[in-house]
Amino acid sequence: MGTAKRERQKANRAARIQAAEQAQHKQEQQRGYRNIAIVGGVVLLFVAAAYIVNRRNESTTAATGPGSTTSTLPGTPSTPLDPTASTPAATPTIAPGATISGPTPCPNIDGSSARTTIFAEAPTMCIDPTKTYTAKVATSLGEFTMALDAKAAPKTVNNFVVLSRYHAYDGTPFHRVIPDFVVQGGDPAGTGSGRIGYTIEDELPSSAAAYQPGVVAMANTGQPNSGSSQFYIVLAPDRLQPQYSIFAKVSEGFDTTIKAIATGDSVGDPIGGTPPKTPATILTVTITET
C-alpha cells in the first residue's frame, strides 16, 4: 500500500510539473507572438512615415521645379529674391514665345526679332559697353525709364538688353510686389517660379549700401551665378547682402509708375501665399543706345 501511494504521489507530481512546463511554454509562445506583433507594428509605422516624407518631398520638388533651391529666410523682407522658391501665383495669360535650342544669336537692334522666351544658352556679348543704354518700360500702370550701367555690369546689362530685344518681358507681370521692399518681375512664365533656360555670372556691388530706392538688380536663387531673367526694383533702403547684381537705376517714373505698382491690388507676395490680385504688367521694353 505504501508503495502504491508513493507511486501515485510521484505520478501526480510529474503531471503537475508537466502541466506547469506546458503552461510556461504557452506563455513564452504568446509572449513571442506579442513581440512579433510589436516589431511588425513598429516596422509598419516606419514604412508609413517614410512614405509620407517621400510624398512630401515629391510635392515640394514639383512645386519649386527641378534644380531649384529654397530661400534661406523664406517670407521675410530680407529674403534672397529666389525666383524658384515662391508658391506660383495663378498663371496669367501670356503670349507664348519661341525657343532657341542652340547658341543665342544677338537680336535685331530695331526690335524686330520674334518674341522668344526660352533659350538653351546665355547670349554672347551683343552690346558695346562703351555706349549708353536706357530701357523705357511701358506697363499697365504707366511708364518708367531705367538707366542701364554697362560699365559696372556689362554681362548683366547685355543679358537684359538681349531679352528685351527678344521681347521676353512683354506681357509678363510684376509677380512679387512688397511695399517698402521691392517690385519684382521678369519671369517669362509670370508665376515667379519660371526659368528662361540659362544663368549668368554675378557682377556684385562692394557693399549692401548700394541697394537704394530706384536701384535695379537681378534676382537669384541665393546661390552664386544663378541670375537669369528676373529682376527687382528697390523701393526703400534695405538690409540685403551684396549678392545681387546691380545693373540699372530708375531714372524716370519712380515716384509715379513704380509707386503706383507698389500699391493696391498690384501688391502681393507668392512666397507668403498671397500673389497680387491684379498684377501690374510689362507691356513693352524699348532699348535705346547712344
Task: Check residue 74 and give its pLDDT.
Answer: 28
When computed from its CA atoms, the radius of gyration of the chain, rounded to whole angstroms, is: 33
Residues 141 and 279 in one domain: yes
Residue ranges for the chain with pLDDT beneath 70: 1-92, 239
Residues 39 and 159 both lie in one domain: no
- Three-class DSSP category at 21: helix
> What tens digit of pLDDT does each residue of 178-234 get?
999 999 999 998 888 888 999 999 999 988 899 999 999 999 998 999 999 999 999
110 and 49 belong to one structural domain: no
pLDDT for position 194: 82
Does some domain include residue 88? no
Q: Do residues 283 and 171 both lie within one domain?
A: yes
Contact 213, 236 (CB under 8 A): yes
Number of domains in the chain: 2
For position 144, what pLDDT does the model report? 98
Please tell me the predicted confidence (pLDDT) of residue 257.
98
The residue with cell 519684382 is 184
In a domain, 74, yes or no: no
- The last residue of a domain, from among 64, 82, 114: 64
**Residue-number span of the structural domain to which 4 is assigned:** 1-64
- Helix or strand (DSSP H, E) at 52: helix 2-64
Return the H-helix or E-strand segment holding 283. strand 282-289
The pLDDT, as a whole number, for residue 9 is 59
Clarify whether residues 199 and 283 are in a common domain: yes
Same-domain check for residues 172 and 214: yes
Left (φ > 0), alpha (ψ -120 to 50) or beta: where does 75 sit? left
Please name the residues in contact with 276: beta carbons below 8 A apart, sequence gap of 6 or more.
89, 173, 174, 175, 177, 265, 266, 267, 268
CATH number of the domain residue 272 falls in: 2.40.100.10
Q: Residue 273: what pLDDT?
A: 86
Q: In this structure, are 283 and 194 located in the same domain?
A: yes
What pLDDT shows up at residue 133? 98
* 128 and 56 within one domain: no
**Whole-number pLDDT of residue 95:** 77
41, amino acid identity: G
Considering the domain architecture, whether residues 216 and 105 belong to the same structural domain is answered as yes
Question: Is the dihedral angle over the CA atoms 108, 248, 273, 276 positive or is it negative?
Answer: negative
Q: What is the pLDDT of residue 20?
A: 52
Residue 79 lies in a domain: no
- Is there a domain that residue 115 lies in? yes
Residues 56 and 112 in one domain: no
Same domain, 19 and 153: no
> What's the pLDDT at 39?
46
